[in-house]
Amino acid sequence: MKVSLIAAVARNGVIGIENRLPWHLPEDLAYFKQTTLGCPVLMGRKTYESINRPLPGRLNVVLTQQTDWAPAPAKDGSPRAVIHPPQALPAGGETAIAVASTLEQALAWLAPFDQVFLIGGSNLYAQAVEQGWVDTLLLTEIHADFAGDAQFPAWPKSRFHETHRIHNPPAGERPWGFDFVTYEKTAAPL
């Protein structure tokens, strides 16, 4: 299974403020949707609660140590079904919510899938990078500084190499540019 981390990161390392994005960047939201659609997405509880609904067309796996955690009800007030280990998971493109208590448990549970995307927050990113789980980083590198309370973790840049970059210059009301960048883990020497 390929583990990909996807995030938008300001020049000063900020990725969020008060459980939301500190910028409005529709191009990044479209890129995120296009990239993750049909695949499982793994996120921390606070990230899920900031979205407040399962992302459609994706298996949504939420990490939480709260044994009684339940997602907010659907718009019609009905409770949302939650899958717990070791229950079988649906296909990655089926909208569903699953809950795991640790990153290791979630990744073991997701092992039958070809790819999983880590979508936040900062604690999940830091743990995954620190433990060496990440194969690919898909970063939207924003060429501006933003105030925020969530930072992207330091990552071992020498262990990754850039394989793709799309530059987007400042445009319209947006005075800053951004790049979509892919970094792949470098194979360990034999």
Report CA-CA distances (Å) from 32 to 67, 112, 124, 126: 29, 23, 17, 20
Strands 96-100 and 115-120: unpaired
Task: Give this prediction's pTM.
Answer: 0.95
pLDDT computed for residue 70 by the predictor = 92
Q: How far apart are CA 60 and CA 71, in angstroms?
A: 11
147-155 average pLDDT score: 97
pLDDT computed for residue 91 by the predictor = 87
On the question of pLDDT at 190 being above 60, the answer is: no
Identify the band that residue 162 occupies on the pLDDT scale cut at 50, 70 and 90.
very high
DSSP-assigned beta bridge partners for residue 98: 61, 83
**What is the separation, in whole angstroms, between the first and last Cα of the chain?**
21
| Portion of the chain with pLDDT greater than 90, in percent | 94
pLDDT computed for residue 188 by the predictor = 63
Over residues 55-73, the pLDDT tens digits come to 999 999 999 999 999 999 9
On the question of pLDDT at 50 being above 90, the answer is: yes
76-94 average pLDDT score: 91
pLDDT computed for residue 189 by the predictor = 54
| Portion of the chain with pLDDT greater than 70, in percent | 98
Q: How far apart are CA 149 and CA 33, in angstroms?
A: 24
For the chain, what are the domain ranges? 6-11+18-37+120-190, 40-112
> Tokens 């990754």 belong to which residue?
160
Q: How far apart are CA 28 and CA 38, in angstroms?
A: 18
- 6-11+18-37+120-190 folds as Dihydrofolate Reductase, subunit A (3.40.430)
On the question of pLDDT at 35 being above 90, the answer is: yes
Strands 41-44 and 59-63: parallel
> Tokens 């939480």 belong to which residue?
64
Identify the residue with better confidence: 91 or 57.
57
pLDDT computed for residue 92 by the predictor = 85
Over residues 123-142, the pLDDT tens digits come to 999 999 999 999 999 999 99
